Amino acid sequence: MIQRRKTRQIQVGWVKVGGSAPVVVQSMTSTKTHKVEETLQQIKRLWEAGCELIRVAVPHEEDVIALPDIVRNSPMPVIADIHFAPSYAFRSMEAGVHGIRINPGNIGKEEIVREIVEEAKRKGVAIRIGVNSGSLEKDLLEKYGHPCAQALFESAIRWSEKFEKWGFYNFKVSIKGSDVMENIKANLLFAKETDVPLHIGITEAGMGTKGIVKSSVGIGILLYLGIGDTVRVSLTDDPVVEVEVAYAILQSLGIRRRGVEIVACPTCGRIEVDLPKIVKEVEEKLKGIEKPIKVAVMGCVVNAIGEAREADVGLACGRGFGWIFKKGKPVRRVEEEEMVQALLEEVLGHDGEGKV
Ligand code: SF4
């Protein structure tokens, strides 16, 4: 059982982060924020995939102007991502966003950061302090020569202490470097010192398998150590994939379950059916189910009985036929052509909502 680090709880709109709240899954839109329809459509897809907080980039005037519409129509709290332009932080809060993300290192003078904090306090807006290797303060870069874990940690502690000194506690911190080991070290140093909730992720993880592995290793290790109150997987991909990967990481550590978890055998020479095709079809058909259900699809009887016993519903394939298991008990013998349909019936029930 993973012991989560004890953190204070903060509130981003109606979503709680930290304390006893579940690890929150968040993502960021990849659309131009000012293209309101496109952005809202992506937000809707992310919401359906299980995203709970959404961040939108606010690099230009037209993006600020679009914010009230986006906030009004978003099913989840909206966080404005602000860099270099403090005036957009004020105007985003005016537009009704529930949170803002700033990297104090690129906002400018400390007085300006403080003014943003005071305004967030007045408006009940949460702040994420972003500490990234790419936007570290000059003095820390001079002190350490490069953006190492210690420098990232010092920057994060420095700003957290300032925020608290200014009487503001509704904030979380993210410490992100693209180097997995530095990232883990910096988060560990910070976690030992404070009870500030942490947003975790590996920035610029990249594309495809490499990006997913890098994120899974970095985020997975931190979560295993009990660190992380909200997660964003950053991939050069459709953000919906980020949400799916985030849930897969949380699920594999037993932290959160959402949707159908498919256990499938890797296949070998004993196989008698086209298992990849069956798994793909089952996965596709069960995509929208939110209920946490474990489904095992096994190529032959060797491991099927054991796996099927552990799963809610299992399919053990033989030559030209298969057995459907439910909660460890065989319930139906099915011919090859009806395997998928029969499995789906057992998982979904008649209402299609998941009857297990
Ligand atoms: Fe091979 Fe059967 Fe194991 Fe699948 S379940 S990998 S087919 S032995």
- With a CB cutoff of 8 Å and minimum separation 6, the contacts of 123 are 93
Q: Check whether 300 is labelled as a binding-site residue.
A: yes
For 212-247, b/e burial (b = at least 16 CB within 10 A) is: bebbbbbbbbbbebebbbbbbbbbebebbbbbbbbb
Q: Stretch 134-140: mean pLDDT, rounded?
A: 87
Q: What is residue 178's predicted lDDT score, i.e. its pLDDT?
A: 67
214: nearest Cα among 206, 222, 225: 206
Q: Residue 129 is inside which H or E element, if any? A: strand 126-132
- What is the Å distance from ligand 1's center to 330 Cα? 18
Alpha-carbon distances, residue 210 vs 28, 206, 213, 215 (angstroms): 20, 7, 5, 9
Q: Is the CB of 265 under 6 A from ligand 1?
A: yes
Query: Could you identify the atom of ligand 1 that is nearest to the CA of residue 269?
Result: 1
Q: Is the CB of 64 under 6 A from ligand 1?
A: no
Instruction: With a cut of 50, say whether residue 51 has pLDDT above it.
Output: yes
- What is the Å distance from ligand 1's center to 290 Cα? 29
Q: Stretch 147-174: mean pLDDT, rounded?
A: 96
203: nearest Cα among 160, 240, 232, 245: 232
- State pLDDT tens for residues 300-330: 877 766 776 678 898 988 888 888 988 878 8
* Higher pLDDT pick, 80 / 263: 80
Could you identify the residue written with the tokens 């010192």? Answer: 193
Average pLDDT, the chain: 91
Q: Is 349 helix (H, G, I), strand (E, B) or coil?
A: coil
Q: Is the CA virtual torsion 172, 177, 183, 188 positive or negative?
A: negative
Domain boundaries, the chain: 10-252, 260-348
| Angstrom distance (rounded) from CA 36 to CA 33 | 6
**Domain 10-252 CATH (choose: 3.40.50.720, 3.40.50.300, 3.30.360.10, 3.20.20.20):** 3.20.20.20
Q: Are 186 and 222 in contact (CB under 8 A)?
A: no
The burial class, CB within 10 Å (0-12 / 13-18 / 19+), for 332 is: middle
Ligand 1 binding pocket mutation candidate from 265, 310, 315, 323 (most atoms within 8 A of CB): 265
- What is the Å distance from ligand 1's center to 306 Cα? 12
Query: Could you identify the atom of ligand 1 that is nearest to the CA of residue 303?
Result: 5
- Ligand 1 atom 8 nearest Cα: 302
| Angstrom distance (rounded) from CA 129 to CA 11 | 15
Q: Are 298 and 307 in contact (CB under 8 A)?
A: yes
Q: What is residue 175's predicted lDDT score, i.e. its pLDDT?
A: 95
DSSP-derived secondary structure letter, 52 = -
**Domain 260-348 CATH (choose: 2.70.170.10, 3.30.1330.20, 3.30.413.10, 3.40.50.9100):** 3.30.413.10
Q: Is the CB of 31 under 6 A from ligand 1?
A: no
Amino acid present at 325: F
87: nearest Cα among 67, 110, 115: 115
Supply 243's token pair: 């949400």
- Mean pLDDT lowest for which of 73-82, 112-121, 131-140, 148-157? 131-140
Q: Is 69 left (phi over 0), alpha (psi -120 to 50) or beta?
A: alpha
Confidence of residue 136 (pLDDT cuts 50, 70, 90): confident
Confidence of residue 146 (pLDDT cuts 50, 70, 90): confident
- Ligand 1 atom 6 nearest Cα: 267
Confidence of residue 350 (pLDDT cuts 50, 70, 90): very low
For Cα atoms 163, 169, 175, give the angle at the middle one, nearest 5 degrees: 65
Instruction: With a cut of 70, say whether residue 176 has pLDDT above it.
Output: yes
156: nearest Cα among 180, 124, 125, 133: 133
Q: Is 50 left (phi over 0), alpha (psi -120 to 50) or beta?
A: left
The burial class, CB within 10 Å (0-12 / 13-18 / 19+), for 174 is: buried
Q: Stretch 347-351: mean pLDDT, rounded?
A: 66
Q: Are 153 and 140 in contact (CB under 8 A)?
A: no
Ligand 1 binding pocket mutation candidate from 262, 274, 275, 303 (most atoms within 8 A of CB): 303
Q: Are 161 and 197 in contact (CB under 8 A)?
A: no
